[in-house]
Amino acid sequence: DTAVSQTPKYLVTQMGNDKSIKCEQNLGHDTMYWYKQDSKKFLKIMFSYNNKELIINETVPNRFSPKSPDKAHLNLHINSLELGDSAVYFCASSQFPSPLHFGNGTRLTVT
């Protein structure tokens, strides 16, 4: 009965490839997010969706494209992967003003 689940847990790929990370929440929350945690552990918001509508799009390269087919799912597609994209990507959900619930993260390694 995992609340926020994201797949895969680990992703190793080569530069130039395209990859996707999937996220699903079963909490009935309206809002979902993608956060990036860099090598220094700093967490930064990338995108936020509310009821399938994009509401926050921070300064993120166009190679990153989120997609929300319904309010329980928010996927992240990354084109033309670069070395600097290596990080841990967290999906989260919330029903404001409740706290964010995070998935367990996807560690992306680009070689």
Partner 1 sequence: AQTVTQSQPEMSVQEAETVTLSCTYDTSESDYYLFWYKQPPSRQMILVIRQEAYKQQNATENRFSVNFQKAAKSFSLKISDSQLGDAAMYFCAYRSAGYSTLTFGKGTMLLVSP
Structure tokens at 100: 């964010």
Closest distance between partner 1 and the C-beta of residue 31, in Å? 5
CB closer to partner 1 out of 13 and 104 = 104
- Smallest separation, CB 52 to partner 1 (Å): 15
* Residues near partner 1 (CB under 8 A): 31, 33, 40-45, 48, 50, 55-56, 88, 90, 92, 94, 96-97, 99-102, 104-105, 107
**How many C-beta atoms lie closer than 10 Å to residue 37's C-beta?**
15
Residue 49 CB, nearest distance to partner 1 (Å)? 10
* H-run or E-run covering 91: strand 87-94
Closer residue to partner 1 (CB): 69 or 99: 99
Nearest residue (CB) to partner 1, 64 versus 102: 102
SS in 3 state form for 14-83? CCCCCEEEEEEECCCCCEEEEEEECCCCCEEEEEEEECCEEEEECCCCCCEEEEEEECCEEEEEECCCCH
Q: Which of 69, 97 has the CB closer to partner 1?
A: 97
Q: Give min distance, CB of 87 to partner 1, in A.
A: 12
CA nearest neighbour of 93 among 48, 40, 41, 38: 48
